[in-house]
Structure 1
């Protein structure tokens, strides 16, 4: 019997980022961690606290793209699908994007096509 992992169940491939993208909670602006990889429908976050699967989160992704003076901020609503402890102080969480702003979609498209 073959066990399916979360990677096997993905509908789309994930892309590892070539730049740093910080993740903040939208309402409190609290720093949550970093975006590790993404697809057009999902995100993997690296955080210092575990995230509860099934919880819906509203987040801001902030990056400073190359050759641009300034930063971009995109917002999205996502559902936490899983959360695993990676090290004693670091967690990885997979999220399904429910809704995203146009800026967020543009940012994700650039991440997945570089």
Structure 2
């Protein structure tokens, strides 16, 4: 996908996005492989920074882990995502736009806590 295609996809979003207040690490659920960090999110989607391009249409079960500000414990949310686009954002990182499917209650709580 070209930058123009990614920009057009972003312009078609139905929901505003917001940036998490803390680092949210993203792991593939089954292998526990580290994929990257959540860059922004909404109720129905998220962008993840990844080291490799992820093909559009890929579906991945994820574990998302954060340590909320002023809290001494970490939170782990789970969901499945469908990759909508992946585009190089720096020489070593890709932005990966995803549609969220089947978020668990904790992921809802985490996303709601990132709202401005």
Alignment TM-score, normalising by the size of structure 1: 0.92
- Calculate the aligned-residue CA RMSD, in Å: 1.4
Any runs of at least 4 consecutive aligned residues in structure 1 with deviations exceeding 2 A, and if so which?
Answer: none
Name the CA distance, whole Å, in 1 between partners of 2:102 and 2:84.
Answer: 15
2:106 to 91, 94, 103: 103
Shift of 1:56: 0.5
Where do 5+ consecutive residues of structure 2 fail to align? none
Alignment TM-score, normalising by the size of structure 2: 0.91
More helix by share: 2
| Cα distance per residue 1:20-42 (max 9 Å; x no partner) | 11000000111000000000000
Aligned pairs, how many?
111
Contact 2:21–2:69 (8 Å) recurs in 1: no
More strand by share: 1
Comparing 76-85 with 62-71, greater Cα deviation is found at 62-71
In structure 2, what is the equivalent of residue 23 of structure 1?
26
Shift of 1:55: 0.7
Name the CA distance, whole Å, in 2 between partners of 1:108 and 1:102.
Answer: 10
